[in-house]
Amino acid sequence: MAEKEISQAVISRLPRYFRYLGELKDEGVERISSQDLSVLMHVTASQIRQDFNNFGGFGQQGYGYNVEYLYTEIGKILGLDHTHNLIIIGAGNLGQALANYMNFERRGFVFEGIFDQNPALYGKQIRNLVVQPMENLREFVTAHNIDIAVLCIPKTAAVAVADDLVKCGIKAFWNFAHVDLNVPESVEVENVHLSDSLIKLSYNLNANHHEA
């Protein structure tokens, strides 16, 4: 779509637009003005217009945006117009919690398998998945057309495991291990650190609720 480079700040706001528009669509809302969307999302209407202008504006503002169209177009930009096949590496607390959460599939992220190196976990069923040994990885990634690996293993193991996964054909990592992966530039990495978010909350709590 857009030829120019879109800033990461804009990209990082798209999932939220997508989520709100999905809810509006589910409620049967057909059109919404940038003004109404701004009230709903607590961002300024000019921010919304500026963000959307990166992608050609998405239609005439005088009549508001067509919700279904906007939802579909933002979905396409986010690569959500097709499904992604994922595997989880590490079937501990976090890996199992993610495997048990069903809503990712609604957005087209399908967990196809879960792997661990602990033989005590082999064969354990987590929702519709069965924990498999790491030895099965290579064949599985190819057979199930896996593009994303979710790393839920300790940081001491993550770098080496990621290397192996790249060799197996993994193109993207959703990395929960607290370490920077050392993968080729062509491989996408999204690091998730829940504690960063919690620490930000702590900062705001401190800054806004304490007398100076």
Residue nearest to ligand NAI (CB): 92
- Rg of the chain, C-alpha, whole Å: 20
DSSP 77-124: HTT-SS-EEEEEE--SHHHHHHHH--HHHHTTEEEEEEEES-GGGTT-
Q: Which two tokens stand for residue 20?
A: 């709100």
**6 belongs to the binding site for ligand NAI (CB under 6 A):** no
**19 belongs to the binding site for ligand NAI (CB under 6 A):** no
The DSSP code for 127 is T
Q: Which of 134, 159, 168, 172 binds ligand NAI (CB under 6 A)?
A: 134
Q: Which of 29, 94, 159, 168 binds ligand NAI (CB under 6 A)?
A: 94
Piece of 13-21, 64-72, 139-147, 172-180 that binds ligand NAI (CB under 6 A): 172-180
**116 belongs to the binding site for ligand NAI (CB under 6 A):** yes
Beta pairing class for 148-151 and 172-175: parallel
Cβ closest to ligand NAI, residue 24 vs residue 149:
149
Length of the chain: 212
Cβ closest to ligand NAI, residue 38 vs residue 117:
117
**44 belongs to the binding site for ligand NAI (CB under 6 A):** no
CB 70 within 8 A of CB 58: yes
Query: Which residues of the shown chain bind ligand NAI in the complex (CB under 6 A)?
Result: 89-95, 116-118, 121, 134, 152-155, 157, 161, 176-178, 192-195
